[in-house]
Amino acid sequence: MRMYALKSLEAGKFEIREDDETLTVPAVITKEGVYDYDGMLVYEPAEEIEGATLTAQNAWIVENHPAEVILTKAEDIKGTVAKAVFEEDRIKADLTFYKNRCSPQYLNDIKKGKIKSVSIGFFWEPEPRKGEFNGKHYDYVMRGIFIDHVAVGSWTGRCSYPLCGIGIDGKLKGANPYPNEHSCRLRDPETLDIVGSGERKHNDKTYRVIFGKPKGEKDAGSVEQAYRYPVETWSETEARKHCQAHGGSFEPATKEEGGSLKGEKEEEGEREKLHEAAKRREEKYGIKFREGKGNLTPPKDYPQNEDDYADPVNYAYPLVPEDRCKNALARWSQFREEYTQPERNIIYERIVRRALRYGITVQYNPELSEAKALPENVKKQLDGYESADALIARIKALSNQLRTA
């Protein structure tokens, strides 16, 4: 079964080239590893990444992943991918932004490190096969990767620094402070080979742990090298206290040159409000907000009313105008795997109800659990659905015919 997915990568370094028309940032856009796709543990092998390199070349860059899954609107294009090459276990490329298609704020945020993540939208096929890679278990192997587009934004990526992101030298430096991220150094990075990172929680706040192995000791276990605290959720005081409790050396997030504390506080407050609004939508609709994939606000040039989305929590899969609803219905089998079964029931019903309002013919598929979960009054309006009452009536009619024959 052909599948569609998004994988986000967080930038670790900014090396920028600029002229009057373009802004270019080198990046690692994907890397071998095991990734969690909404509960599916999937191994993305190097040989498949190498095969996908051609599809990365000249892929379009967007600011946000299209609500319609694939890129369909020219006005969403912000730039293009160039010089895509496979090296060792990753695809490196230049991300070139067209200044006449990007807002000054967007370009400025890239320069200053506020926007530091890269996320690929791609198609793939799952091969059921269990195994381990670098000590991580997986249940599927990713095959047939085809990159559709590359989004560049401010989310936290699946493959985060220091393993992935902007800065194509691929050298792992350990943790130093970056804009919007406090740092807690536990060990000197020069004594370790950085091998990965993971997430933990403290008082319901997520922070990242960077791991390394002592240099020259292949059989040694991993140790914690540093902690990272996003300023969106961690104040400097909270991060410093946590760091000191673990015996680390704390460095606050670097301040932007000419930046104002008031402006930072205002931005932080606005982000907090948007996340609170997403939480309320979660409770209202029974769908989880997908950090790094969902939209906190309706995308530009798409419906601004949450009721006009199949997934109103993430502002994904618009249902207006009619052709977008048709597209959501037609592509349901491709993006349903992003959700849990209870979420599928909710989202599919929203698509079907809106389609019926438009007068679109909807075929009943008894193999879909979410189709069987539809209310009876909705199922009766679907082509190919025979209600229990209708089935009983037909059986009775056949029985009467047999008795009178």
- Residue 224: the pLDDT is 87
Q: Note whether residue 341 is domain-resident.
A: yes
Q: Note whether residue 389 is domain-resident.
A: no
164/21 same-domain check: yes
Distance of alpha carbon 24 from alpha carbon 14, whole angstroms: 10
- Residue 340: the pLDDT is 93
Q: Which of 155, 171, 187 finishes a domain?
A: 171
39/155 same-domain check: yes
Q: Note whether residue 13 is domain-resident.
A: yes
Q: Note whether residue 119 is domain-resident.
A: yes
127/152 same-domain check: yes
Q: Note whether residue 124 is domain-resident.
A: yes
23/41 same-domain check: yes
35/180 same-domain check: no
Q: Which of 171, 188, 208 finishes a domain?
A: 171
85/128 same-domain check: yes
Q: Which of 110, 136, 171 finishes a domain?
A: 171
47/77 same-domain check: yes
- Residue 379: the pLDDT is 92
Q: Note whether residue 131 is domain-resident.
A: yes
The total number of structural domains that make up the chain:
3
343/222 same-domain check: no
State which residues form the domain around 188: 172-259
126/158 same-domain check: yes
Query: Is 67 within 8 Å of 315 (Cβ atoms)?
Result: yes
370/241 same-domain check: no
Q: Note whether residue 282 is domain-resident.
A: no
156/178 same-domain check: no
Q: Note whether residue 393 is domain-resident.
A: no
- Residue 391: the pLDDT is 61
164/177 same-domain check: no
Which segments of the chain have a pLDDT < 70?
1-15, 38, 68, 113-114, 154-179, 195-196, 218, 254-269, 292-293, 387-397, 404-405
Distance of alpha carbon 98 from alpha carbon 107, whole angstroms: 10
